[in-house]
Amino acid sequence: MAVWALGINHTTAPLDLRGRFAFALDHIAPTLQGLRESLAGSSRHPQVETAILSTCNRTEIYCAAPAPALDHTLDWLAGSGGVSPQLLRSHSYLLEDGLAARHAFRVASGLDSMVLGEAQILGQMKNAVRAAEGAGALGSTLNQLFQRSFAVAKEVRSSTDIGAHSISMAAAAVRLAGQLFEDLSQIRVLFVGAGEMIELCATHFAARSPRQITIANRTLERGEALATRFGGSVMRLAELPEHLHEFDAVVSCTASQLPIIGLGAVERALKRRRHRPIFMVDLAVPRDIEPEVQQLSDVYLYTVDDLAGVVQTAQASRQAAVAQAEAIIDAGVQSFMHWMDLRRPAGQHGAVVPLIQQLHQQTDTWRAAEVARAKKLLARGEDIDTVLDALSRGLAQKMLHGTLAELRAGDAAAREQTAQTVSRLFLRAQGKGAL
């Protein structure tokens, strides 16, 4: 099987382009189905394995098939985002086999994140794998790739200090808010959405005991659960424009495909606030807040990309741990590629597993033939010791026939090479613990 990965991330593509390729987790199954059908049609290989990882910082497609289809994968993703393949290619990366495995391991370990060593991406990868499994898109090859990436990530975290002092997006948002407001305990904070990122942000802000915490969400049930946890209140998303002016800080992260906080709503809120400043953080991809809002003089709007400088402030102190992590990843890649090599089709250099399977099939055939012969002898009343002796001799003759024929054939040099191989396989010294 060939393995390849196609992706865009915070280092290769701007925020608005990444927004075109954001896949909601509950839409992954039909998306994977469409991708698999497209790849199967292009390669004539129905056994295509696929998985999609989509976060605010990246969208990545992982595939495995008997033959690679990198260009077709790129064309499919470009079509899904409504851009030309040429534009997507200029902002993406295409990786095969060992390079694809190395990338997956680095992503899982937090080495490819905006926040070096952050742990959230590992959970997101596990969610992506569960979604692929649920869609029936994950086979043995990608399953091995991801399970090994999780194991490598665990070893990196337990053996290095890569995650020490990491500053999350949520912590960065609180830090920036603290630069604008003298006392965070006096501000009112609105969280738009009720997902994992909002929960993380609310946790960080709640630690500073703001005057008010409010959750705005499409459905009240999830919003109420989160608001109760932080001693806050809840409102429906539809009520947001009318109440926006009440809040000093707004943090938004929803799965909406269109902005939910527009320029006009913010302008009206500022007018009602008599132009007291509003701190806004848009962690959504695609954007939740119209980008034009950033031009307003009394609004301090930050996107996920704007937070990059803040979250990297502690990076220098972790560089020593990166070398250790890369060494662990190198070993993981070598192990995975060895596993792949063992599964090459019969006839290719290094094919081992197919040969082992053929040997098992052949020995099963010989064994079945000798057992059938033994049963016939027993049915005729032959002595059981005689039957067992005949069965063992028959198996031994079948197993040695090819070997003895090779020893008698060919020139002297060929016979000598065969003799050395036979000695190594059949006459190996029975050392301590030998079976």
* Residue 68 · residue 98 · CB < 8 Å: no
Residue 297 amino acid letter: S
Element (H, E) at 398: helix 384-408
* Contacting residues for 362 by C-beta, under 8 A, at least 6 apart: none
CA atoms within 13 Å, Cβ hemisphere of 370: 19
Q: Which single residue is written with the structure tokens 């925020």?
A: 15
How are the residues of the chain apportioned to helix, strand and coil, as percentages rounded to the nearest 5? 55, 15, 30
| Phi, psi values for residue 285, rounded to 5° | -135, 110
Q: Which of 56, 63, 201, 253 does the annotation list as catalytic? A: 56
Q: DSSP state, 261?
A: B
For residue 110, what are its two tokens? 């937090």
Alpha-carbon span 418 to 412, nearest angstrom:
10
Q: Is 63 a catalytic residue?
A: no
In the chain, what is the greatest distance between 2 CA atoms, to the nearest angstrom?
108
What DSSP designation does 289 have? Answer: B
- Would you name the residues annotated as active-site residues? 56
